[in-house]
Amino acid sequence: MGMTMTQKILAAHAGLDSVEAGQLINAKLDIVLGNDITTPVAVNEFKKAGFEKVFDKDRVAIVLDHFVPNKDIKAAEQSKQCREFACEHCVSHFYDVGKMGIEHALLPEQGVVTAGDCIIGADSHTCTYGAVGAFSTGVGSTDMAAGMATGMAWFKVPSAIRFNLTGKLPANCSGKDVILTIIGMIGVDGALYKSMEFTGEGVKTLTMDDRLCICNMAIEAGAKNGIFPVDETTVAYMEGRCERKPVVYEADADAVYERTIEINLSEIVPTVSCPHLPENTHPAKELGDIKIDQVVIGSCTNGRMEDMEVAYNVLKGNKVADGVRCIIIPATMQIYRDCVEKGYITAFIDAGAVVSTPTCGPCLGGYMGILAAGERCIATTNRNFVGRMGHVDSEVYLASPATAAASALTGYITEPKEA
């Protein structure tokens, strides 16, 4: 029986010739990731278990990104604990103020993750790295602690759903519209503990930023991971960037999938997820009577350079509507710098937006954009549960950077024009 791409990576890391769906395995880890919220919990468990050192100082990554620069005393204490642990164990991939970025944009950018890796992270959106052909998944802080100490983690091998992509996206659509469309089709539990494997001729028309966005939100369909094949686009992205030599795995021709879902990219339209679940999707053009108070363009889903460029192209020379707060957050310091050098920051400010250093802040209702009762936000983030961005009586609408930026100009949810 053939194996899927995910199953091949897991088999290799478990030292087995083959694995099958449902099998329990112990696998070697290439990277163990934590952030300023989850790492302190993991550190406490690490010490409670009596561990004295990390398995490999070069295979642990700690990124301070949720409440950094620190928003309050508790956040400062958490960051301090991370700093002390990273210093004590000589963690090479420690990212603090000035070097940090939103973790799931930063690690691919810095080449910390690569094709063929097996990665766990104490953050649910760790599944992002499937875009470079890695198996990556979110875990709890206890698993992170064990992973830091032993370099191992146990998994139940997931079954898979294949998404066969054909065609090419319209000019006003992006990977965000693709994954919102898919989640709308299958639901927030439609891929529960399954691998979402993307294949087909349409893959080659998607950029790396599209793929990173799509894999990032695999968890919003309940998936264990999302993964793309390694093609010329992936190789070009990894060249000269990755710390380790990529290892390319391909699904067997007779790999077993629970089902195959056909997605014609040319039929995708600008899509918005309405409150209070990512599966509650509608075409943007049907929502034009919904007035908004805030726009957030950023996050681990859509804070990359292509997203900033899209926002720039919509906002330059225009003005954010009166009564709308538009918050733009480049996902890494490198992206921030590139935005400065290209003149994007000036254009954002001239349009009436504000620009923040990299942070996850508003996405999880932490800071840099909290909503009051009755307020609505259209955001390029990945979750819109009750109270996700502030008051339980606020509302979050998920959309692409193009739709969010277009909406900032009108004050209502607005379908973006084709470029």
80-87, long-range: CB < 8 A, 24+ apart:
81/39, 81/40, 81/43, 82/34, 82/36, 82/39, 82/40, 82/43, 85/39, 85/43, 85/46, 86/62
Class of domain 272-410: alpha beta
Cβ atoms < 10 Å from Cβ of 343: 12
| Residue 418, pLDDT score | 75
H or E segment to which residue 307 belongs:
helix 305-315
| Residue 1, pLDDT score | 77
Per-residue pLDDT of the chain (419 residues; tens, 9 = 90+): 799 999 999 999 999 999 999 999 999 999 999 999 999 999 999 999 999 999 999 999 999 999 999 999 999 999 999 999 999 999 999 999 999 999 999 999 999 999 999 999 999 999 999 999 999 999 999 999 999 999 999 999 999 999 999 999 999 999 999 999 999 999 999 999 999 999 999 999 999 999 999 999 999 999 999 999 999 999 999 999 998 999 999 999 999 999 999 999 999 999 999 999 999 999 999 999 999 999 999 999 999 999 999 999 999 999 999 999 999 999 999 999 999 999 999 999 999 999 999 999 999 999 999 999 999 999 999 999 999 999 999 999 999 999 999 999 999 999 998 76
**CATH 3.30.499.10 domain residues, the chain:** 5-264, 272-410
pTM of the model: 0.96
Question: Which tokens sit at 24?
Answer: 């329990």
The CATH classification of domain 5-264, taken from the options 2.40.128.110, 1.10.510.10, 3.20.20.80, 3.30.499.10: 3.30.499.10
Query: What is the three-class DSSP state of 383?
Result: coil
| Residue 419, pLDDT score | 61
